[in-house]
Amino acid sequence: MELYIAGGVGEHGRNCFFLQNGGDAILVDCGLMAGSDDPLPRLTESQIRKLKAVFLTHSHADHTGALPWLLRQGYTGPIISTTPTLQQLPFIVQNAVALEQVAPRNEKCNGITWGLSGHCEGSVWLKLDWDDKAILFSGDYTEQSAVYPCDVLRNQVADLAVLDCAYGHDSTLWNDSVTAAAAAVENLLEKTPIVFLPVPKYGCGLDLLLQIRRRLPYVPLYGDAHFCKQTEIALVDGKWYKPLPQRILRSVRPDAAENEGVVFLSDPQLRGAVGERAKELLEQGAMGIMTGTPDAGSFSSALLAEKKMEFWRYPVHLNETQCRVLTEKNNFSQVLRYHSPNFASPHRITMK
Ligand SMILES: [Zn+2]
Ligand SMILES: [Zn+2]
């Protein structure tokens, strides 16, 4: 059996893992490298012909953005992921199969074991048993979210574990990062009446909301239409969310022309209409806080360079230390750390 790394190791983005056993193969994730001239996973035509199934750990574009390309290359097999992940994809996929129908959560079935990974709505880790080998993919993973449940990885046995290590050598403690991000909002609000936060469509926006509301109980909070809709979904969809404080979720008001307070905008890179809204807010004297990785060439990158936004990370991945601690709590023969430029790619790993 061989794992061929089509992207995502030694770099941030384009996560794509091709697992081959004899003439058959499966793919885990099919991501794009945003802002790159060479954004696609490194898959050959003959590899694509061998594919029997594609699994998606979650909907973010660095894990799914190259799927339309894969379909254009002739892949017609199943695309398997949780129902929220499939619903969040910004394009139509034929042959979508709900992971919950293939195997129940946390129970091995058809050689597949999966659990929630705490990173966003519907995000999962996957363990695949194939012949006598077991390979575990953590997906993007955090045990710290107050919003998204995580079925923590403990005592799992695998020949190879592909683990999220997106923050690499940055050893800042989770609590310190979160406190610093919330404090940055508070500090900026002393200088400007409006602070906007570009957040992922599906991800840490709700976690940030909880942290900010706890720290700043009286500041008015606003969200664009997508963000407000996410607060409503989180209140009613108990399956994919932790129990959340209604009072806080209901305290977000729709973003309107005249605001003072904190405004959540649902696109971390501030593209299109979201970027236009950010421009209006900037004209009113607003400043932004970026909490995730900016893509090269994005409006967010430009605003960071112009110092119209500050960068304070809200952690939704693991760093090197957390990755090592996770490894110690499991039984992995081999570990491959993905999602960071800090660790070079071996390009392929053969398991005998
Ligand atoms: Zn992600
Ligand atoms: Zn990712």
The pLDDT, as a whole number, for residue 237 is 84
- pLDDT of 94 above 90: no
Closest-approaching ligand to the CA atom of 122: 1
pLDDT per residue over 54-79, tens digit each?
Answer: 999 999 999 999 999 999 999 999 99
Query: 280 alpha carbon to ligand 2 midpoint, in Å?
Result: 30
Give the start-end residues of each E strand in 131-171.
133-137, 157-158, 160-164
Share of the chain above pLDDT 90, in %: 94
The pLDDT, as a whole number, for residue 222 is 97
Parallel/antiparallel/unpaired status of strands 157-158 and 194-198: unpaired
Where does the pLDDT of residue 270 fall: very low under 50, low under 70, confident under 90, or very high at 90 and above?
A: very high
Query: 58 alpha carbon to ligand 1 midpoint, in Å?
Result: 7
- pLDDT of 231 above 90: yes
DSSP string, 218-266: TS-EEE-HHHHHHHHHHHH-TTTS----HHHHTTEEEP-SS--EEEEES
- What residues does 65 pair with on adjacent strands? none
The owner of tokens 């030694």 is: 10
- pLDDT of 232 above 90: yes
Find how far residue 242's CA is from the centre of its chain: 17
- pLDDT of 259 above 90: no
Closest-approaching ligand to the CA atom of 62: 2
Q: Which fold has domain 174-311?
A: Rossmann fold (3.40.50)
How confident is the model over 241-270, as a mean pLDDT? 92
How confident is the model over 108-116, as a mean pLDDT? 96
**Integer Rg of the chain from CA:** 20
The pLDDT, as a whole number, for residue 268 is 95
pLDDT per residue over 11-52, tens digit each?
Answer: 999 999 999 999 999 999 999 999 899 999 999 999 999 999
- pLDDT of 105 above 80: yes
The pLDDT, as a whole number, for residue 25 is 98
- pLDDT of 257 above 90: no
Angle between the N-to-C axes of helices 205-215 and 174-189, in degrees from 0 to 180, rounded to the nearest 10: 60
> Ligand 1 being an ion, which residues bring their Cβ within 5 A of it?
60, 140
Phi/psi of residue 65, nearest 5 degrees: -60, -20
How confident is the model over 182-188, as a mean pLDDT? 94
- pLDDT of 87 above 90: yes
What is the average pLDDT score of the chain?
96
Query: 351 alpha carbon to ligand 2 midpoint, in Å?
Result: 25
The pLDDT, as a whole number, for residue 352 is 85
How confident is the model over 75-98, as a mean pLDDT? 96
The pLDDT, as a whole number, for residue 285 is 94
Among 56-70, 255-269, 299-313, which stretch is predicted with the lowest mean pLDDT?
Answer: 255-269
Name residues whose C-beta falls within 8 Å of residue 42's C-beta, 6 or more positions apart in sequence: 6, 7, 16
Whether the CB-CB separation of 336 and 158 falls below 8 Å is answered with: no
Query: 292 alpha carbon to ligand 2 midpoint, in Å?
Result: 11
The pLDDT, as a whole number, for residue 256 is 85
Phi/psi of residue 325, nearest 5 degrees: -60, -40
The pLDDT, as a whole number, for residue 184 is 95
Query: 254 alpha carbon to ligand 1 midpoint, in Å?
Result: 26
- pLDDT of 258 above 90: no
Query: 284 alpha carbon to ligand 2 midpoint, in Å?
Result: 33
Query: 263 alpha carbon to ligand 1 midpoint, in Å?
Result: 22
One-letter amino acid of 334? Q
Taking CA 61 as the corner, what is the angle to CA 316 and CA 244, rounded to the nearest 5 degrees? 40
Whether the CB-CB separation of 1 and 27 falls below 8 Å is answered with: no
The domain limits of the chain are: 2-169+316-350, 174-311
Closest-approaching ligand to the CA atom of 167: 2
Q: Of 3.30.70.260, 3.10.20.30, 3.60.15.10, 3.30.360.10, which CATH number belongs to 2-169+316-350?
A: 3.60.15.10
Share of the chain above pLDDT 70, in %: 100
Give whole-number Cα distances, 40 to 15, 16, 130, in Å. 10, 9, 27
The owner of tokens 């061929």 is: 4
Parallel/antiparallel/unpaired status of strands 261-265 and 194-198: parallel
- d(Cα 233, Cα 238) in Å, to the nearest integer? 9
- d(Cα 266, Cα 279) in Å, to the nearest integer? 14
